[in-house]
Structure 1
Amino acid sequence: MTPETLSVQERTAVRVLVEEVEKRTNVRLPVASQWPPDAVPVIAVGPSASAANWAAAALRGAGTADPAPGAEGYRLAVSMVGRAAPTVLVLGADARGILFGVGRLLRELRMTGGALRLPGSLSIVSTPQTALRGHQLGYRPKTNSYDAWDVPMWEQYIRDLAVFGTNAIELMPPRTDDEPDSPHFTLPQMPMMMEMSRIADEYAQDVWIWYPALDKDYGDPKQVEFALKEWADVLSKLKRVDAVFVPGGDPGHTEPRHLMALLERQTASLRKYHPKLQMWVSPQGFTKAWIDEFYQILKTEPDWLTGVVFGPQVRDSLPILRANVPGRYRIRHYPDITHSLRSQYPVQDWDIAHALTSQREQINPRPLDEAVIFRAALPYASDFITYSEGCNDDVNKIVWSGLGWDPKADVVQILRDYSRYFNGERYTDSFTQGLLALEQNWRGPLAANVAVYTTLEQFQALERAASPRDLRNWRFLQALYRAYYDAHVRSRLLHETSVEERALERLRSVRTGESRQALADAARILDDARTRPAAEWRLRVYSLAEALFQSIRQQLSVERYRAIAVGRGATLDSFETPLNNGGWLLARFAEAAALGSEPER
C-alpha cells in the first residue's frame, strides 16, 4: 500500500521491496494505492509527512508518539489495531528515509519459500548519525571484478548497499591512471558512467566523481583550458553529480598553488551543469613543503572549496590534518578497505605465508578491524567514502555502512543482518560466526593457528547443507573460497617447513667424504615439497575460483580469467607460492656441489 503520488526515488524503494521479497519467497506482493479489506495484511510504504492522509487507520498503535525521525530516517512499526489484520508501516522522513526504511524492513524480515514473518512488537525509529556513507565503485580495468559488470549487476550492487544505509557512490571518469580498455568491459566507460549516475539518482544516492588531475603542467594556461573542456565534456553527460573529489596524489603531481587554481576554475565551470556541485581535494602524496603550502592556501578559506579528504599517502595524521584545516571545511575519510598489504590499513602482524599467497587483494572480511578503524577516525572525520577495487571487500563495505548509520552498532549484529539478508535466515548465526572466524584466520603465526582448520570445518558444514541456490550465491562462495584457501596454505606451510627441516638435518649429519651425496639427498628431500597435501582442498579452491568468475565476474587469475595483474586480486596465481627456502637452498646446493674439493664443499 502506497500513496497515489510518489517520486521516482520513492517508487524505486517500493520496487526494491517487491522484488527482493519475491526473490526470497517466490511471493509477488501486489502494489495498490487503495486500502484492501481489513482482513488482508498490508505493508504501507510512504512519506511520514502525509501519513495521516493515506495511512490514518494504521497509525493508531504504531508508536507514532515516539520522536519523529530526522533527515534520511524512518519509522518502522507493526500496527495491530485499527484493522483486523496487521499492518507494517514504513514511513520515511524523506525519499531516502523511505528507501532506508524499506532496507531495514528487508533486513528484519524472516523470509522463506512462500512466507515472510516479522515480530508483532517491532517498533523502530532510526536516523543516520553520519551524513556521508559511501563507497567507490570504479568501472575501470584496475579492479578485480567491477570492470566485468553489466548494468543490471551494477543496479543490484547499488541496491544492496542502499539496503544497508549507503547514501553515496563514487564513480571514475574514462581517463585515469589506468589502461584505456579492459577485455571484460560490457560497455565503454562513458556510457557505463552515465548508466551508473542514472541508477544512483533513482536510488537517491549522491554521486561523487573521483577525478585525478593528470595533465603535465597546470601552470600552463593551455593545459588548464584543455582540462576545463575535458572535465565538462564528461560531467555534462551525467544525470546526477553531487561532488567532485580531486586527489592531490596517488595519482597526481601538481603543486598546490596550481592545483587549487585549477579546481577553482573547474568548480565554476562544472556548476554550469550541476549547480550545487561540491569540490573536494586531498593532500595525498604531498611533500612537507607542499602540504605547508596547502595549509597556507586553506587559511584564506576559499569559498568554492567544500572540504578536504584524508586518504592513503597523506603525510600528516588525521588529527594533525584536522587541526590545520579551517573548521568551515568538513573532512571526508577515504579509507582503503580493499587492500591487506602495502596499504593505508594493512593487516597487522600478518603471517608471511598469508602475505605471499593472499597478497594485496584477497577476499578480506575484516569486520572487527574495520570497526576499530572507523571509530578511531570518527572524532576527526565522520563522513566517508571508502576506497575499493572490487567485490573482495564486500563485507567491509557493509560494516562501514552500518557503523556510519550508527557508530555504536554491534558489529556482530551487522554481520547477522548481512548473513540473513544475503544468504537466508538459516545462515544468520552460522555464516556470521564463519565471517568472524575468517578474520581470526589472519591473526598471529599461521603454523600455530590450528583454528584455521576449524574455520574450514564450519564452512564445510554449511557447504554440505547448502542448496543449489546457495552454491550460486557469490557471497557464500567467497567465504568458502577463503576458508579452503587458508586451510590449504596452512597445510602446505606445515608440510614445506617440515621438508626443509629434514633436508637441513641431512646436511647437519654429513660425514667427511660424503658431501656430494648429502647435497643430493637434501635436494631430493626438498623435492618432496612439490607433493601437495590436502589435494581435495586444493581442487576445491580452483573450482570455487571458477564459480566466482561465472557468478560475479571475480578475476582470480591472470591466465584463466584475464585479471589485470597477480597483485590485483589474482590470488589463484599466488595460491601455490613456495612457503619454504627450497629454491634458495637448491641454488646453494648446486654451487656447493660444483666446488672441486671436499673441504670446500
Structure 2
Amino acid sequence: CDKYGIDFWMWIPATFDLTDKELRAAGLANHEEIYKTAPRVDDVFFPGGDPGDNHPKDVMPYLVDVAKILKKYHPDAMIWLSMQGYEGEQVDYVYDWIEEHDPRDWLAGLVAGPGSPPIPETRRRLPAHYRLRHYPDVNHVVRCQYPVVYWDPAYARTHTREPVHVRPMDQQFIHNYFAPYTDGFLTYSDGSHDDVNKATWSSLGWDSTMELRDILEDYARCFLDPEQAPQLADMILALERNWHGPLPLNGDVPLVKDVWQEFHRDSGAVFPGDGSANWRTQMFAMRATLDAYTRARLLNDNELEEEANQAILMNVDEGSDKAIEKAESILSEADHPPKEISDMREYIVDLCADLWESIGFQTSVEKYGANSGHRAAILDYLDVPLNDRWWLEDEFDKVAELENESAKKERLIELANWETPGKGSYYDDIGHVGLSPHVVFPGGASAHPMLYKVPNPTFWNHEGGFSRKRLAWHCTLDWPHLLRYEGLDPDATYTLKLSGVGDAKPKVGETLLEHTDYGKEEGQIKVFPVPKEMTEGGTLEIAFEPLNEEGINWRYQSRLSEAWLIRND
C-alpha cells in the first residue's frame, strides 16, 4: 500500500458483549496490539452487526476509546461505522449521538452494507461533512443484499448461495445507481467465484464511464485469451443471461455450455501468461455446464411428475395402491437419466476435481471440505429432485395410513390436481418466476436494485437444502404487489386460497377479505370467499394489507407461498 499509495483498511468487529468490562478491555487491548505493530493504517471499519450484536449506546463509547488508541499510533487514521442489523430506535440513536458529540475528528462516516438502512435515507440523514461508503455484497446470490431478481427455483436448489457468480450487468447497474449517494466503495467477497463481479466494480471505481463490454474484453485479454477477447466478453455476458427468466424457456443455456466447453477444450485450458491451469476457464466451463445440466434435469423431472400425476388420475378408480405404485415407478425413472444428463454430470465432477487441484475450490462438504452446503458445495446437490418427488413420496406414505379407501382416493386426486385446480380456476406458485402469472410487478422486476419497492422471492435453505417439503414452500414471497385475475365469469363466484406461514390480510380495494379457514403453519391453507360483486366486472385485483412485524426476526415473519383462485361450482 505504501508503494502504490493505496489506503490500507482494517475490518475489526466486536463479536463479544461490550457491557462485559473484561471483554471490552480485552477488545481494546487487541486494537492496541494491532495498531502498534501495523506499519500503516488509513481507516478502520467497525461493523455494528454481522458480526456483532451490541446496541449503539455501547458501540459509540467503545469507538471513542478505539479512536484514542488508533490516533496514538496512526494520527491521520479514521474510523467508519456500519449500521448493519440496526433498526428503528438503534438507527435514530446513532444519528442523535453524532449530532450531540460531533465526532468528526475520528469518525470519517458510515458504511452501507448488507442489512444496513437504505442508502438514500442514510445519505439524507447523515450530516454532509461525513462520508458514506458503499459496502456491496458481490459474493452471494440469495438471502443477501443484492439477490438475483426472480431467480428460477431450480437454480436456487442446486447452485447454493455462493455459486460461480457472474453478474456484470447487475453489478454495473447497482454501482451506477448508488454512486451519486456514496463516497466510493469496498466490495465484500468470500472467494474467487465472483471474480468477474470484483473486476467490474474495480474497473468502474477506476473509471465510472467505462463501457461494460470494454471492461469484460479487458478481463478476457488479461485472464483468458487475448486473441478471443470480444467473443469471450459475449460468453461472460451469456453466463449472466442464463439466470434470466424461467429456466425451461431459456433455450440459450445448452448453447452457452457448448461454447464454454469448446473454449476450455481447444484454447482456454491454460493461463495465457505462464501456461498453468486456467482456473477461470475451468470455473466458467463448470458453471455453464451446471446451468445446462440443471435445465435438462428440470425438464426431465417436470415431465416425470406430470406423467405421475396423470397415472394417479388414470388408475385411482382401480384402487389407491395401484395408483401409488404407478406414480412411484414413474418418479423413480429420474434415478436413471438420459445419457446427455449423465455425461454433463461427469463433466461437472471432473472439472470440480480440477478446480480443487488448481485453486482449492471447495465444491463439496465431504469431498473438498466446504464450510457448509450453501457455500458453493454444488456437487452435494447434483442429484436433488427438481420436482416434488420427495414430497409426493411422503404424501403417498400418509395416504396409505388413512382409514378407508374413499379418503385415500380423495387425497390422491387432490395431490394430482394440486397445481391444476380445474377450468376457470387459477394457481400461482408465488415467487416462482415461471409459475406466478398473476403476480403484478410495479415498474418491472429490476426497477430497483435493492428491491425496496419490488418484492423478490426468498429461497429457504430448509435442512441444508435437503428438505422433502413441497418445492413451492422453499420459495416464498413476503407479499406480491398485486394478484391480478382477468377474464373471470361475471356470473360465477370465487374463493381465494393461500398457503404460507403466519398471517395474511388479502384485500380488494380497501376491503379486507374475511376468512373461513386460517391455517398459519407451513402447508396449511387459508380460505377467503370472494364476494360476488368484486368479480362481476370480470377482473379481480388482490393486494395485501401490510403486517406490523417489526422486531420479529425475518426468518419467522409471515410470508406467502401459493395462491389459488377457485371458481365455485
- Does the TM-score normalized on the shorter chain lie above 0.5? yes
For residue 292 of structure 1, what is the aligned residue in structure 2?
92
> Would you say the 8 A contact 1:513–1:598 is kept in 2?
no
> Which residue of the other structure, out of 192, 204, 209, is the alignment partner of 1:403?
204
Give the aligned partner of residue 252 of structure 1. Answer: 52
Instruction: Specify the alignment match of 2:376 in structure 1.
Output: 569
Q: Is the 8 A contact 1:519 1:593 kept in 2?
A: no
The CA distance in 1 between the partners of 2:349 and 2:50, in whole Å, is: 34
Q: Which residue identity lines up with residue 327 of structure 2 in the other structure?
A: A
Distance 1:594 1:258 in 2: 57
Residue in structure 2 matching 1:311, options 96, 99, 113: 113
| Residue of structure 1 in register with 2:311 after alignment | 506
1:480 aligns with 2:274: no
d(CA) in 2 for partners of 1:201 and 1:568?
A: 34
Alignment correspondent of 1:277: 77
Distance apart, 1:508 and its partner CA = 1.0
2:49 pairs with 1:236: no
SS at match of 1:510: helix
**CA shift at 1:484, angstroms?**
0.5
Structure 2 unaligned runs (5+)? 409-569
Aligned ranges for residues 129-168 of structure 1 at < 5 Å? none
Alignment partner, residue 490 of structure 1 = 295
Map Cα deviations across residues 536-560 of structure 1 (whole Å, 9 max, x no partner): 1111111111111111111111111
1:543 aligns with 2:350: yes
Return closer, same or farther for 1:202/1:540 CA change in 2, 3 Å cut-off.
farther
Q: What secondary structure is seen at the aligned counterpart in 1 of 2:173? A: helix
CA distance in 2, matches of 1:571, 1:239: 41
* Counterpart secondary structure, 1:436: helix
C-alpha spacing 1:467/1:461, structure 2 compared with 1 (3 Å): closer
**What RMSD in Å do the two structures reach over aligned CA positions?**
1.6
In terms of mean alpha carbon deviation, does 488-497 or 463-472 score higher?
463-472
Structure-1 separation of matches of 2:259 and 2:25: 59
CA-to-partner distance for each residue in 1:498-534, whole Å, 9 max, x for gaps? 0111111000112533321121111111101122342
Give, in whole Å, the separation in 2 of the partners of 1:551 and 1:334: 30
CA contact (8 A) 1:217 1:254 kept: yes
Structure 2 counterpart of 1:406, one-letter code:
D
What is the CA distance between 1:221 and its match in structure 2? 4.6
Instruction: Give 2:137's match in structure 1, choosing from 336, 339, 352.
Output: 336
CA gap 1:257/1:488 in 2 versus in 1, 3 angstroms: same
356, 377, 387: which one aligns with 1:580: 387
Separation of aligned partners in 2, 1:467 and 1:473 = 7
CA displacement, residues 432-477 of structure 1 (integer Å, 9 cap, x when unaligned): 1111000000001001111111111221221232265258101111
- 1:44-123 maps to which residues of 2 (within 5 A)? none
Quote the offset at 1:203 in angstroms.
Answer: 4.8
Aligned with residue 177 of structure 2, among 360, 369, 376 = 376
Alignment partner of 1:363: what SS?
A: coil
What's 1:433 paired with?
Answer: 234
Moved more, 326-335 or 467-476: 467-476
CA spacing shift, 1:262–1:504, aligned 2, 3 Å: same
Separation in 1, partners of 2:157, 2:269: 33
Partners of 2:166 and 2:194 within 8 A in 1: yes
Residues 513-552 of structure 1 correspond to what in structure 2 (within 5 A)?
A: 513-533=318-338, 534-552=341-359
Percent of paired sites with the same residue = 38
Tell me the distance in 2 between the aligned counterparts of 1:468 and 1:431. Answer: 14
Q: Is the 8 A contact 2:220 2:233 kept in 1?
A: yes
CA distance in structure 2 between the partners assigned to 1:586 and 1:511 by the alignment: 16
Counterpart of 1:356 in structure 2 is 157
Shift in alpha-carbon separation, 1:201–1:548, aligned structure 2, 3 A: farther
* Structure-1 residue corresponding to 2:406: 599
Paired AA for residue 214 in structure 2: Q
Q: Structure 1 residues 309 and 445, CA, compared in 2 at 3 Å: closer, same or farther? A: same
**SS of residue in 1 equivalent to 2:66:** helix
AA aligned to 1:495 is: N
Alpha-carbon distance change, 382 to 217 in structure 1, aligned in 2, over 3 angstroms: closer
Alpha-carbon distance in structure 2 between the residues aligned to 1:478 and 1:574: 17
2:28 and 2:66 in contact (8 A); partners too: yes
Contact 1:365 1:393 survives alignment (8 Å): yes
> Which digits, 9 at most, give the CA deviation of each residue in 1:216-259, with x for residues without a partner?
134x5544322211111133333322111001111122222321
Q: Is the 8 A contact 2:269 2:277 kept in 1?
A: yes
The AA in structure 2 aligned to 1:473 is N
User: 1:335 Cα shift?
Assistant: 0.4
Counterparts of 2:393 and 2:2 in 1: how far apart (Å)?
60
SS of equivalent residue, structure 1 residue 245: strand
Q: Deviations over 1:279-334 (max 9, x none)?
A: 110111112111101011122321211111011111x3111100111111111000
- Secondary structure of the residue aligned to 1:347 is coil
SS in 2 for 1:506: helix
Distance 1:312 1:597, change over 3 A: same
Change in Cα spacing, 1:333 to 1:516, as seen in structure 2 (3 Å) is: same
DSSP 3-state at the match of 2:379 = coil
C-alpha deviation, 1:273, in angstroms: 2.5
CA contact (8 A) 1:403 1:409 kept: yes
Q: What are the superposed Cα offsets for residues 13-54 of structure 1, whole Å, 9 maximum, x if unpaired?
A: xxxxxxxxxxxxxxxxxxxxxxxxxxxxxxxxxxxxxxxxxx
More displaced, 228-237 or 317-326?
A: 228-237
Alpha-carbon separation, structure 2, partners of 1:367 and 1:463: 21
CA, structure 1 residues 273+584, in 2 after alignment: closer, same or farther (shift >3 Å)?
same
Report the counterpart of residue 48 of structure 1 in structure 2: none
Contact 1:201 1:239 in 2 (8 A): no
| Residue from 4, 8, 11 that aligns with 1:210 | 11
The amino acid across from 1:224 in the alignment is R
How far residue 355 of structure 1 moved from its aligned partner, in angstroms, is 0.7
- In the alignment, what sits opposite 1:224? 24
| AA at the equivalent of 2:328 | A
Question: Which residue does 2:68 correspond to in 1?
Answer: 268
SS, match of residue 136 in structure 2: coil
Give the residue type in structure 2 aligned to 1:520.
E
Where does residue 56 of structure 1 map in the other structure?
none
**Contact kept? 1:353, 1:489, Cα under 8 Å:** yes
- Aligned residues of 2:18 and 2:59 also touching (Cα < 8 A): no
Against the structure 1 CA distance between its residues 334 and 527, is the aligned structure 2 distance closer, same or farther, given a 3 Å change threshold?
same
Corresponding letter in the other structure for 1:509: M
Q: Which residue of 2 aligns with 1:14?
A: none
220-229 or 555-564, which deviates more: 220-229
- The answer on whether the counterparts of 2:345 and 2:382 sit within 8 Å (CA) in structure 1 is no
Asked if the contact 1:361/1:571 (under 8 Å) is kept, the reply is no
Q: Does 2:400 match 1:590?
A: no
Q: How far apart in 2 are the matches of 1:284 and 1:232?
A: 25
CA contact (8 A) 1:420 1:428 kept: yes
Q: Name the residue aligned to 2:431.
A: none
Q: Distance in 2 between matches of 1:573 and 1:217?
A: 40
Deviation at 1:488, TM superposition (A): 0.2
Describe the SS at the equivalent of 1:271: helix
Cα distance in 1 between the residues matched to 2:269 and 2:240: 27
8 A contact 1:214–1:253 mirrored in 2:
yes
Q: Which amino acid aligns with 2:13?
A: P
SS in 1 for 2:234: helix
Which whole-Å CA distance do the structure 1 matches of 2:133 and 2:15 have between them?
A: 22
Q: 1:285 to 1:350 in 2, by over 3 A?
A: same
